[in-house]
Amino acid sequence: MSIRINEETLDPKDWKAMRALGHQMVDDMMTYLETLRGRPVWQQIPEKVRRNLKKPLPMKPQGAKRAYQDFIENVLPHPMGNIHPRFWGWVEGTGTPFCMLAEMLAAGMNPDLGAGDHVANYVEAQVLDWLKEMLGYPAEASGLLVSGGSMANLTGLTVARNTMAEFDVRQHGLQASRKMIFYGSTETHSSLQKAVELLGLGSDSLRTIPVNGQFQMDIEALETAISEDESEGYQPIAVIGNAGTVNTGAFDNLNALADICAREELWFHVDAAFGAWAALSPKLRHLVSGIERADSLAFDLHKWMYMPFELGCALVRRKKDQLQTFALTPDYLARAKGGISGGPVWYSEYGFQCSRGFRALKAWMSIKEHGIWKYGRLVQQNVDQARYLAELVDAAPELERVAPVPLNIVCFRFAANELDNAALDELNSEILLQLQESGVAVLSSTMIKGKYALRVAITNHRSRREDFELLVREVIRLGNILVQSRKNPKNE
Amino acid sequence: MSIRINEETLDPKDWKAMRALGHQMVDDMMTYLETLRGRPVWQQIPEKVRRNLKKPLPMKPQGAKRAYQDFIENVLPHPMGNIHPRFWGWVEGTGTPFCMLAEMLAAGMNPDLGAGDHVANYVEAQVLDWLKEMLGYPAEASGLLVSGGSMANLTGLTVARNTMAEFDVRQHGLQASRKMIFYGSTETHSSLQKAVELLGLGSDSLRTIPVNGQFQMDIEALETAISEDESEGYQPIAVIGNAGTVNTGAFDNLNALADICAREELWFHVDAAFGAWAALSPKLRHLVSGIERADSLAFDLHKWMYMPFELGCALVRRKKDQLQTFALTPDYLARAKGGISGGPVWYSEYGFQCSRGFRALKAWMSIKEHGIWKYGRLVQQNVDQARYLAELVDAAPELERVAPVPLNIVCFRFAANELDNAALDELNSEILLQLQESGVAVLSSTMIKGKYALRVAITNHRSRREDFELLVREVIRLGNILVQSRKNPKNE
């Protein structure tokens, strides 16, 4: 009937060759992961590689094989290092070989979990149910898998803002509203400040409450702040509890916060980005007591659940609140009684994204692979490693621990007696740099009560005790060398 | 020195078996993709599968092999269908076999592109530079890869709000501000409304301007609205131009909008979610003329660039505006002069997310694989297919086209003379459902000037002309049967 024209596709002409390339990739990546420990954690990227990554836009095809070759030469050898056993910088994740494969499956199926009746949405529902069960959160709560803790916190705070407002924020905006106040401790993660800024509330709206010696929110100070704000004519909206702060791994007294929220009729949001997973270990579970009382809850799976980026989750106690905040159904997304436009849940109605990838699959597959008890043992293992490192630090006269270790984060510094704080800050930042540049270990830094601290955050299923022993030896060795070179400066 | 304890890991005990499983997956997925065309586009999920996806939380390990078996039995056979050659519902993407493999590589390396000096950030910078070049956008502009069009639009509108405000929105919030007004046509995508709601501006702030017969924003109506708002004491902030509307693929007159924005000193944001890619075809490029004048620009790669979810992009003309909107550097993310905490760009400062996955890799690899000219040909091919379908529709007396076809979207309906509009709406929705349930094709629906329309959006590198011929035959066949059964209802 029609004239046959020569239609093109992005599928390979030679499927056999693409298959062979896939096999090659699996082999290369498995070897890469199996031999990780023998390589430096991190290395400076050579100038040549930087230049190779500033190439003109390719107009003509290079082909799959050549593109992969380029990856092997320029990309794979220069990783961040966070999958290495001795990476403990910031709070990062590691991923697993099976999750890596699961991401391939997800990208092959490539469904859109924003809309439609298809299996991926049931997988996400299953994962959400499991997560609620893991955290003791009500089974009837709603939720959404999101890109990470920032989006999870944003999701929770948006529902809080819209639900608690005295008027319809979605329609009218904040322009005529009273100042809405959110409360969090001084240790609250920056994503919460970014969230209140994005939401149009202004960082002025985030009241930061001081902490006690355990880096927990000062409950009395919170109560005072709430009553002061009320007498100023502001509207207190929500208290943000921390379950595992980013600086020191501290837990707020979640039950005390929940009590205040109940009494004052405030929203209770918990940022449990990585601390949520204390729930999986019988010895640690008490730390998250009260988390099940949160009105909204944010946490990651791509960090302390060791899954690849990006995978966070927001849970909301009352489904109605979440839907009223996010559901919007234009004509072209109309639901139908059956067919692909049917189905029980359209996740685009539960959050900000419209199209959504199949991030649920890696969670579903790896929870099945390992079972939850094993995750609990690994979380406990990381906490035991943190305590072990704290013991090593405490036993070493050259080292000073600068914060308690309630969970998996150890903050310490090399502290030679004869140096003042400014000199120690400089010396420790040099130790940090040399550790990184030698490829021995990656830590990050933070400031604890005015002191520059080396910060070790352990969310790594590949770390072993011997790795922390090596770390302590190296910090002492580098510290001593640096102190010596201060005393005997060359060429002076 | 220390007592050796039995430390666990999530790495496989048997790497050889994990490798073999990876090979099996590559084979299964390649076969799955190669044989796509022979299967139904979509099928209802069997009740048994739904039950299998409501299992209790696994406490004990099932192992990788068993978990994969479960995927093969319960997940893979029940896809959304968007990767199939005859899926044209909503606007979805297809993905490619090579991108599928690239996602595996990205998840294996698993870097965090929020922070740090490592190769993945250079890959993202390279991709952003290529994207600017592809769209003729200024090379000095800044940008960010994001989860999709919604986040890209949100990013642009946030920068617009914060940059154009008469005060510091980040600090003070909107509570005491004048009403800020954003303008978009009635055809503007729902993600823009969700964005202004999220931002605390309220949907009242999104002034919807009527369209002309080509579904383009009415320029005079826009000018009138701006001057009315000014005289009301509101603050006009931004005009949102559409490059490819979701209903009909219409393009606003971007140059006219840019002129107005220049004259009125307004921000010019363009939502080019899929329409951006008209830029790649010499015959279509004129449609996006003016896009290079946008202050911010949002588009997807996971739809009409045929890459897997999630991959969108926001570009912002002046880097300073983007940084001033999003950068926030707490102590634990402090930059350093060298080491992993150095590096030229930390992408967490350019957007809302803190941790960010390696979504850049699939773009980098597939642009290299195919080269940009091929993408241009495929975009043109889809547009030619849309025009071909429009011709088939126009030639069929039973069918009525209900909107122009400026790009890749065709809206039409089965229109038997003897039925009124309500009956036609019902009949066409039944046709839509039967097409889906038979697995022949997936379309979606929309309302065009009060008429229920079958909507075919072609962003699919696997579609052929013969697929559209089949579609037209099937719509006519189903329509005739349905008209007949109306005339001769059984058992009545």
Give the Cα separation of B259 and B278 in Å (integer): 21
Q: Does residue A490 surpass a pLDDT of 70?
A: no
Confidence of residue A206 (pLDDT cuts 50, 70, 90): very high
> What percent of chain B has pLDDT above 70?
98
Q: Does residue B487 surpass a pLDDT of 90?
A: no
Domain match, B130 and B266 both: yes
Residue B79 falls inside a structural domain: no
Confidence of residue A470 (pLDDT cuts 50, 70, 90): very high
Q: Does residue B198 surpass a pLDDT of 90?
A: yes
Phi, then psi, of A358 in degrees rounded to 5: -95, 55
**Nearest residue of B to residue A429 by CA position?**
B336
DSSP-derived secondary structure letter, B281: S
Which of chain B's residues have a Cβ under 8 Å away from the Cβ of A333? 90, 190
**Nearest residue of A to residue B119 by CA position?**
A78
**Nearest residue of A to residue B432 by CA position?**
A339
CB nearest to B108's CB, from A33, A55, A445: A33
Record the tokens describing residue B291, joined without a space.
């896009």
pLDDT at A342: 87
Confidence of residue A5 (pLDDT cuts 50, 70, 90): confident
Domain match, B457 and B325 both: no
Residue A24 falls inside a structural domain: no
CB contact under 8 A, B445 and A353: no
Domain match, B345 and B378 both: no
Q: B416 or B189: which carries more pLDDT confidence?
A: B189
Record the tokens describing residue A383, joined without a space.
């906490």
For the stretch B365-376, pLDDT in tens is 999 999 999 999
CB contact under 8 A, B369 and A62: yes
Q: How many CB atoms lie within 10 A of CB A292?
A: 18
Q: Does residue A487 surpass a pLDDT of 90?
A: no
Sequential DSSP letters for A11-80: S-S-HHHHHHHHHHHHHHHHHHHHTGGGS-S--PPPHHHHHHTSPPPP-S---HHHHHHHIIIIITTS--
Q: Does residue A183 surpass a pLDDT of 70?
A: yes
Among B65, B198, B303, B324, pick the best mutation site for testing chain A contact (most A Cβ within 10 A): B198
Give the Cα separation of A276 and A152 in Å (integer): 13
CB contact under 8 A, B310 and A340: no
Which of chain A's residues have a Cβ under 8 Å away from the Cβ of B201? 173-175, 200
B449 part of contact set with chain A, CB < 8 Å: no
Domain match, A344 and A467 both: no
Average pLDDT of the residues in B314-327: 97
B150 part of contact set with chain A, CB < 8 Å: yes
Average pLDDT of the residues in B330-335: 73
B344 part of contact set with chain A, CB < 8 Å: no
pLDDT at B1: 47
Residue B384 falls inside a structural domain: yes
Q: Sheet containing A180-185: which strands, arranged edge to edge?
A: A142-146, A312-316, A296-300, A267-271, A235-242, A180-185, A206-209
Alpha-helical (H) ranges within B53-180 are 64-70, 97-109, 119-135, 149-164, 169-172
Q: Does residue A410 surpass a pLDDT of 90?
A: yes
CB contact under 8 A, A147 and B373: no
CB contact under 8 A, A190 and B330: yes
pLDDT at B342: 87
Q: Does residue B85 surpass a pLDDT of 90?
A: yes
| Among A330, A352, A369, residue at a domain's last position | A369
For the stretch B437-482, pLDDT in tens is 999 999 999 999 899 999 999 999 999 999 999 999 999 999 999 9
Kindly state the helix (H) or strand (E) to which residue B312 belongs, with its residue range. strand B312-316
Domain match, B345 and B394 both: no
Give the Cα separation of B179 and B102 in Å (integer): 46
Average pLDDT of the residues in A309-334: 92
> What percent of chain A has pLDDT above 90?
92
Which of chain A's residues have a Cβ under 8 Å away from the Cβ of B457? none
Q: Does residue A258 surpass a pLDDT of 70?
A: yes
Mean pLDDT (chain A, rounded): 95
CB contact under 8 A, A29 and B105: yes
B21 part of contact set with chain A, CB < 8 Å: yes
Q: Does residue A2 surpass a pLDDT of 60?
A: no
Which of chain A's residues have a Cβ under 8 Å away from the Cβ of B203? 170-171
Number of helices (H), then strands (E), belonging to chain B: the values are 15, 11
pLDDT at A1: 47
CB contact under 8 A, A109 and B83: yes
Kindly report the nearest CA distance between residue B194 and chain A, in angstroms: 7
Q: Is A289 left (phi over 0), alpha (psi -120 to 50) or beta?
A: beta
Kindly report the nearest CA distance between residue A242 and chain B, in angstroms: 16
A250 part of contact set with chain B, CB < 8 Å: no
CB contact under 8 A, B71 and A105: yes
B313 part of contact set with chain A, CB < 8 Å: no
CB contact under 8 A, A173 and B158: no
Record the tokens describing residue A182, joined without a space.
């959110």
Q: How many CB atoms lie within 10 A of CB A191?
A: 27
Q: Does residue B492 surpass a pLDDT of 90?
A: no
CA A452 from centroid of its chain's CA atoms: 23
Residue A414 falls inside a structural domain: yes
pLDDT at A443: 96
Tokens 């008469």 belong to B166
* Spatial contact of B385 and B458, defined as CB atoms under 8 Å apart: yes
pLDDT at A330: 75
| Among A369, A389, A414, residue at a domain's last position | A369
Give the Cα separation of A216 and A213 in Å (integer): 7
CB contact under 8 A, A306 and B106: no
Q: Which CATH number covers residue B421?
A: 3.90.1150.170
CB contact under 8 A, A80 and B151: no
Kindly report the nearest CA distance between residue A231 and chain B, in angstroms: 18
B167 part of contact set with chain A, CB < 8 Å: no
Q: Does residue A408 surpass a pLDDT of 90?
A: yes
Q: How many CB atoms lie within 10 A of CB A140?
A: 9
A234 part of contact set with chain B, CB < 8 Å: no
The set of residues, in sequence order, having a beta carbon less than 8 Å from that of B455 and lying 6+ positions away, is A332, B88, B89, B247, B409, B410, B411, B443, B444, B445, B446
Domain match, B308 and B407 both: no
CB contact under 8 A, A357 and B147: yes
CB nearest to A107's CB, from B100, B150, B176: B100
Average pLDDT of the residues in B335-351: 88
Domain match, B180 and B128 both: yes
CB contact under 8 A, A71 and B366: no
Residue B3 falls inside a structural domain: no
B149 part of contact set with chain A, CB < 8 Å: yes
Average pLDDT of the residues in A469-489: 93
Q: Of the given ranges (A126-135, B74-83, B410-419), which has the lowest mean pLDDT?
A: B410-419
Alpha-helical (H) ranges within A116-218 are 119-135, 149-164, 169-172, 190-198
3-state secondary structure (DSSP) of residue A421: helix
| Among A369, A398, A421, residue at a domain's last position | A369
pLDDT at B338: 84
Domain match, A305 and A193 both: yes
CA-based R_g, chain A, Å: 25
Q: B449 or B78: which carries more pLDDT confidence?
A: B78
Domain match, B165 and B313 both: yes
Give the Cα separation of A368 and B10 in Å (integer): 12
Record the tokens describing residue A250, joined without a space.
């501290």
CB contact under 8 A, A68 and B462: no
Domain match, B303 and B389 both: no
Tokens 């769209």 belong to B135
Q: State the sign of the Cα–Cα–Cα–Cα dihedral B230, B232, B235, B236.
A: negative
Kindly report the nearest CA distance between residue A388 and chain B, in angstroms: 10
Residue A398 falls inside a structural domain: yes
Convert A347-369 to b/e letters by CB count within 10 Å (16 or more is b): bbbbbbbbbbbbbbbbbbbbbbb
Q: Does residue A125 surpass a pLDDT of 50?
A: yes
Q: Which domain holds residue B364?
A: 102-370
CB nearest to A332's CB, from B198, B377, B446: B446
pLDDT at B489: 73
> What percent of chain A has pLDDT above 70?
98
* Spatial contact of A306 and B10, defined as CB atoms under 8 Å apart: yes
Give the Cα separation of A216 and A228 in Å (integer): 21
Number of domain units in chain A: 2
Alpha-helical (H) ranges within A398-456 are 421-438
Average pLDDT of the residues in A160-168: 96
For the stretch B250-271, pLDDT in tens is 999 999 999 999 999 999 999 9
> What percent of chain B has pLDDT above 90?
92
Q: State the sign of the Cα–Cα–Cα–Cα dihedral A252, A254, A259, A261.
A: positive
pLDDT at A344: 83
Q: B376 or B342: which carries more pLDDT confidence?
A: B376
Which of chain B's residues have a Cβ under 8 Å away from the Cβ of A198? 158, 198-199, 352
Q: Does residue B19 surpass a pLDDT of 90?
A: yes
Domain match, B399 and B361 both: no
A73 part of contact set with chain B, CB < 8 Å: no
Kindly report the nearest CA distance between residue A303 and chain B, in angstroms: 10
Give the Cα separation of B303 and B461 in Å (integer): 10
Which of chain B's residues have a Cβ under 8 Å away from the Cβ of A59? 371-373
Alpha carbons within 13 angstroms on the beta-carbon side of residue A100 total 32
CA A24 from centroid of its chain's CA atoms: 31
Alpha-helical (H) ranges within B148-237 are 149-164, 169-172, 190-198, 219-232
Give the Cα separation of A238 and A161 in Å (integer): 8
CB contact under 8 A, A59 and B371: yes
Residue B58 falls inside a structural domain: no
Residue A430 one-letter amino acid: E
**Nearest residue of B to residue A442 by CA position?**
B340
pLDDT at B72: 98
Give the Cα separation of A322 and A142 in Å (integer): 7
pLDDT at A239: 98
The set of residues, in sequence order, having a beta carbon less than 8 Å from that of B282 and lying 6+ positions away, is B376
ipTM for the complex? 0.97
Give the Cα separation of B80 and B454 in Å (integer): 18
Q: Which residues pair with A447 in a beta bridge?
A: A452
A323 part of contact set with chain B, CB < 8 Å: no
Give the Cα separation of A339 and B444 in Å (integer): 10
Tokens 């220390």 belong to B2
Q: Of the given ranges (A191-205, B9-23, B158-172, B412-426), which has the lowest mean pLDDT?
A: B412-426
3-state secondary structure (DSSP) of residue A251: strand
Residue A64 falls inside a structural domain: no
Give the Cα separation of A371 and B56 in Å (integer): 11
Sequential DSSP letters for B344-399: S--GGGGSS-SS---THHHHHHHHHHH-HHHHHHHHHHHHHHHHHHHHHHHH-TTE
Q: A438 or A5: which carries more pLDDT confidence?
A: A438
CB contact under 8 A, A119 and B462: no
A470 part of contact set with chain B, CB < 8 Å: no
Q: Which CATH number covers residue A129?
A: 3.40.640.10
Convert A410-446 to b/e letters by CB count within 10 Å (16 or more is b): bbbbbbbeebeeeebbebbbbbbbbbbeebbbbbbbb
CA distances from A199 to A40, A59, A170 (A): 42, 41, 11
CA B191 from centroid of its chain's CA atoms: 10
CB contact under 8 A, A45 and B122: yes
Give the Cα separation of A239 and A222 in Å (integer): 9
A427 part of contact set with chain B, CB < 8 Å: no
The number of C-beta contacts closer than 8 angstroms across A and B is: 588
Give the Cα separation of B218 and B150 in Å (integer): 24
Domain match, B299 and B320 both: yes
pLDDT at B3: 58
Which of chain B's residues have a Cβ under 8 Å away from the Cβ of A339? 42, 432-433, 436-437
